Chain A
Amino acid sequence: MEVLAPDTLDKALLEASQPETRLIAGGTALQLEWAKGCVQPRRMVSLARIPGLSGVMQGQSAVRIGVMTPLAELLRAPEIAAHLPLLAAAIRVVASPSVRNLATIGGNIAGRTGCLLPALLALDAVVDVAGAAGSVSLSLEDWLADTDREPEILTAIHIAPQDPDERFVFRKTGLRAAFTPSVINVAGRILPGRDSPRFARLAVGGGIVSPARLREAEALACGDGDWAALHAVLLSTIDAPGDDVRSAAYRRTVAANALTFGLGGYLPARAPAMSVAIEPHSSQTGKVELALGRTRSPERWHIRPDLPAKIGGTLTYLTDHRQSDMLVGRILRAGIAHARILSIDTTEAQALPGVAAVVTHRDIRGENAFGIVVQDQPALCFDKVRHRGDPVAAVAAVDDATAQKALSLIKVVYEPLAPVTDVEAALLPQAVAVHETGNLQREILFSRGDVAQGFAEAFHVVEDTYVTPRQMHGFMETEGGYAFVDPDGTLNICAGGQHGGRDRLQLSRILGLPEENIRVVTSPTGGAFGGKDELSVQPALALLALKAGQPVRLQLTRAESVLAGQKRHPMTIRMKTACDASGLLLAQEVDLLADAGAYASLGPGVLETAMEHAAGPYNVSHIATRGRLAYTNNGLCGAFRGFGANQMTFAIECQMDRLAALCDLSPVEIRQRNLRLPGTPGYLGQTVAPSERLDEMLAAAKASPLWRRPQGLCDDAEWLIGTGMAMNYQGNGLGSVIPDPCAGRLALTKDGFIEGAYGLDEMGQGLLTAICGAVSTELGCARSDVRPLTGDTRLAPDSGSTTASRGTYVVWASARKAAPEFRRQMCDAAAGLLGCDPQRLVFAPGGLAEAGSNSGKLLVTYRQLADHLPDADLPSVTVTYEFPKTDYPASNARYIFAFGAALARVAISRVTGQLRVLDLHQHSAAGPIIDLAAYLGQLEGGAVQGLGFTLSEDCKMRDGAHLATNLDTYMLPGIQDAPADLSIFAREELDAGDELGPRGAGELGIGAITPAIANAIFAATGYCPAVTPIDPEALLSRLAVPE
């Protein structure tokens, strides 16, 4: 591409008239356009060097704004703040602060879809346009109307100051609180006159809505102040299309509401009467519950060991490795949802200069199949492709551009097959089979008692179908890493993961190499949440490094990660729940259908976990449940924090509130009447661990201050507030059937640190700080004496997976089990050195001290001890053991659970149907907290991930293709979506004799967020949303009670 930067308008105009040329101002829209497939122009003409195009000037009758003025500059300009507050309001919600530093007002206009256009139309903006025939001024409206203009350059915008007496509104409705694509933007101005408004301007635009003034409505607005009539005219005259996310009707309604409400406080219906909130009455003092935070527990607050390097940018992630002889890898994706492969021809790609290796299924020496539960996924496809992101070939080349070019030269001939994209249809007899074994990947049936009898005896029955989204993990660091072969032939695979030992096993099968010849490094990784549990880039990396004989790095672009990465299983849960007149649960019937996508991965485990939580923490005598997992061609699904439990919890906890309402009970009371009793058998009849804390969690929920904060319609008449709760309990570990081996090692390193070695992974959750905490607490040394070693199959023992909330237990239990022998070895070694009785020595910060001594004087430092010991004599203790299990053999039942209660206070807009979570409180009981900050982080992070699941996140698909391809339309929660008040509370005590130690908190945070929010909506409106992410249109339609 050629970029020109002329220094005069004339030169720029001349260049702009050339073919395949594009004018460019701030350039902030280009990368997205190109990523979406728009052809890059051959030439770009930057306007940046032309003088006079930038700046704000106050003229006699108007403010003049140069087109090249960045949006952020406009916000700093006193002229804009003083005279054009409507424009300032509009600019503040364009993109983000960093984008506004580059993006210009001219660019926003020239793109013809900019968020500012309705504001500029309402302000009667006039634009100066320079063309071949000279410069002209015309209204922005006229300029927009003429889409077939000769090459020209906008030079300036003129806007007359707003009247100090006018009322105005600008409102952007998007898909999340801030930095969002526009659903519709409105701008309105009314200048009051003596009898009726003298002047009105109303306009819409933004995103797919064509910018337009609303003239008929403007005329009416100048009339007698009949807001109902104005609203009706707006509804009938606003021209707005619909798309896959929001309907045309929603856009029109929101725009009409925003204009009449913003200018006149009018909405076309009254608010629904508030459902009764629960009686706030509780005797719990909250003494045993700890409110988590640095300032509350400064003595327990430790800065994570990896944090300074992360903030300083000096921590090298596995995708950050660079060296001069390192090749760049790329993977060829199928691009078709379902097809038979007829041929793959890599000849041209291999011949391309700069290409070091091209690999296909023909390069696989072992089994071309992997998968944590069943091995149904090819490392590189050979007979069929089953989703658009399926890998078919991979290339390693000297640089990324050459690798991409090589991919384009690989010729794959497909015979398309009918894609299976509807999960219900996938199970019909006539459905095309995604796998030869059929599309029903797994079916789990469970029953107890007699549901027919239960429903026959019922006083109230609630039945609904709960639908949950295909949530994206959205880890900031996409899948990737590097690989190289050691001189001794060992293959090193360094890619973010969650269980290096299992990655090695799977790679060994694929490559036909003994496990001893493979080293897998999986830490540190930039977020995982379950999404890096299964293999992703590792097979391609391995094959490329082996074939090229050179180091190779490979990282998925975000778009590729969206296309080919795992997602949360979308679920449809039909749930029918019965109770008697007093609210006692009688019967529970559940039918769950989950979309597995193309391969099983951990889907069977997710399904099993969901089904294990089918009655929540409640006693129900009569139960019949069915869970099914079906193959489709809808991408990949796999493990994701919560692992099926949070979806099921959403359903059961909403059922509880609905039954409570029917029984005229409070949400707390109905739960109290049905809560399982500690010490009784678990849901499947299994023995469960002690230290159950459900009663305590419910008591904490009952005592929550959120019930006493303002509820109902706010004074502004827009926001309806309600509070809801949900119980939470999450099983830890893999279950009773699957082998769940754990291991850990304590050792003295040559440089004098006490090493806590674990084959677990630091993915952000705080593994390193947990190791420092657990080992130092167990031994009595300082945290700074401990050096964690993680995520490396060569150096650390295989501790099992960093999933299923099991990591914390493994860290703690290994330290505890290894400590006695390690202490003995250390003290013996030191005693030999000091010539004293080993019994007299104890661990202290920095070294070993004399037992009972108050001086704190060290007899020998760890460093001194290490210095005096030959390498072979350095103390080292490895322990291996099974994760604690229950006695249930029929399926995977959990033994250990962690407990919680979540409360949400939410505000729902009567203008847009959108929701803001005001307060989110999580009460938790997961045993002793090893590291306070990490625990707090898990609960807080889980909460906002749950909030995204509930309000904005869904990978919608059509024909097996993702509709959102990047973070521009996949809506991860941003900082403005985070609740104003996010508070975490914990109970740490265990029952007497409970030797199981800390429970995992990794999944607790997400478990009950969705039903707490849904129940808050139910409390505020009487409507319980059963589909997530919650559709504001559905909510809006329930908010208006006809007058």
Chain B
Amino acid sequence: MTLDFTLNGKPVLLECTADTRLTDILREHLARTATKLACGIGRCGACSVLINGRLANACLLMAFQLEGADIMTVEGLLAHPLGQAVREGLAEENAFQCGYCAPGVSLALVALFAEQPDAGEREIRAGLEGNLCRCTGYHSIIRGALNAASRIRTAQLR
């Protein structure tokens, strides 16, 4: 099929089979490797993207589901009103170690704060249930997310 969708604000047109996964479209067809792939079955969140503003696993999305969709990957995160605060909050707390889960976690947090601007630790934990991290034990990520939440509140970015 000819797939026509928007990637980080720019139109993309490419030929692929209807069941090609978005992870393959990004990492193989477009050589855009910021979106990571770690399980391929929707269980780790490393490939998280926003589709029409909502969090989704790129490995579960097939080309036919992307027709006309607006996809945001971590490369486009700064275009999101909350992107900068999330990045800075996570960075200040040294939220990550190996960093392979970082793009996915960043997108999950942006999606969370967009919907729940007052999210505290309970909501952050619930919002990150789908994102596995093997390095940190999660507490640095929680601190980073709380830091981001505080930046969002201070800047009244909601």
Using a CB–CB distance below 8 Å, which chain A residues touch chain B? 1-3, 5, 27-28, 30-32, 35, 40, 44, 46, 48, 72, 92, 95-99, 101-102, 178-179, 294, 301, 303-304, 306-308, 310-317, 319-320, 322, 399-400, 473-478, 524-527, 529, 557-559, 763-766, 933-934, 936-937, 940-945, 966-968, 972-976, 978, 982
Contacts and interface: CB of A to CB of B under 8 A. Distances in A.
B129 to A, nearest CB: 4
B7 interface: no
A973 B133 CA distance: 8
B69 to A, nearest CB: 11
A968 B40 CA distance: 10
Nearest to A559: B40
* In the complex, the 8 A-B pairs of residues with the closest C-beta atoms, listed nearest first: A96-B130, A764-B98, A310-B99, A313-B34, A944-B137, A764-B97, A526-B100, A320-B33
Nearest to B121: A980
A968 B43 CA distance: 6
Interface in B82-104: 87, 90-103
6 contacts: A27-B60, A311-B95, A317-B33, A322-B33, A477-B36, A982-B139
A941 B97 contact: yes
Interface centre among A31, A320, A945 (most CB of B within 10 A): A31
A982 B18 CA distance: 46
B42 A32 contact: yes
Contacts of A477: 36, 38, 98, 100
Interface string B37-51: 011111111101001
Contact of A476 (B46, B56, B90): B46
Nearest to A943: B137
Nearest to B101: A476
B99 A966 contact: no
Interface of A is mostly: loop
B140 interface: yes
A1006 B102 CA distance: 23
A303 B92 contact: yes
B142 interface: yes
A167 B117 CA distance: 32
Nearest to A314: B34
B41 A35 contact: yes
B64 interface: yes
A5 B64 contact: yes
A616 to B, nearest CB: 24
B17 interface: yes
Given A307-B96, A525-B98, A526-B100, A975 B34 contact: no
Given A98-B108, A99-B57, A102-B56, A28 B42 contact: yes
Contact residues on B (Cβ < 8 Å of other chain), bracket: 35 or more
A992 to B, nearest CB: 33
B99 A940 contact: no
B135 A941 contact: yes
Nearest to B53: A101
B118 interface: no
Interface in B7-59: 17-19, 21, 27-28, 31, 33-36, 38-46, 48, 51, 54-57, 59
B94 A933 contact: yes
A46 B143 CA distance: 41
B138 interface: yes
Interface of B: 1, 17-19, 21, 27-28, 31, 33-36, 38-46, 48, 51, 54-57, 59-62, 64-65, 73-75, 77, 87, 90-103, 106, 108, 111-112, 125-143
Interface centre among A48, A945, A972, A975 (most CB of B within 10 A): A975
B102 to A, nearest CB: 5
B39 A558 contact: yes
B100 A527 contact: yes
A97 B61 contact: no
Given A31-B60, A99-B42, A527 B139 contact: no
Contact of A311 (B40, B102, B134): B102
Contacts of B133: 476, 975
B99 A975 contact: no
A36 B44 CA distance: 17
A294 B97 contact: no
Contacts of B137: 940-945, 978, 982
B90 to A, nearest CB: 5
A764 B57 CA distance: 24
Nearest to B133: A476
Contacts of B126: 92, 97, 178, 976
Interface centre among B55, B101, B143 (most CB of A within 10 A): B55
A238 to B, nearest CB: 28
Given A31-B59, A72-B54, A97-B55, A317 B100 contact: yes
Contacts of A31: 21, 40-42, 59-60
Interface centre among A98, A317, A322, A967 (most CB of B within 10 A): A98
A66 to B, nearest CB: 18
B57 A98 contact: yes
A178 B106 contact: no
Contacts of B45: 96, 98
Contacts of A178: 126, 129
Nearest to A933: B94
Given A32-B42, A99-B60, A314-B34, A475 B139 contact: no
Interface centre among A306, A941, A944 (most CB of B within 10 A): A941
Interface centre among B31, B35, B77, B129 (most CB of A within 10 A): B129
A968 B102 contact: no
Contacts of A308: 87, 91
A307 B91 contact: yes
Contacts of A766: 97
A977 B108 CA distance: 18
Contacts of B59: 31
Contact of A101 (B56, B62, B74): B56
A319 B38 CA distance: 11
A475 B97 CA distance: 11
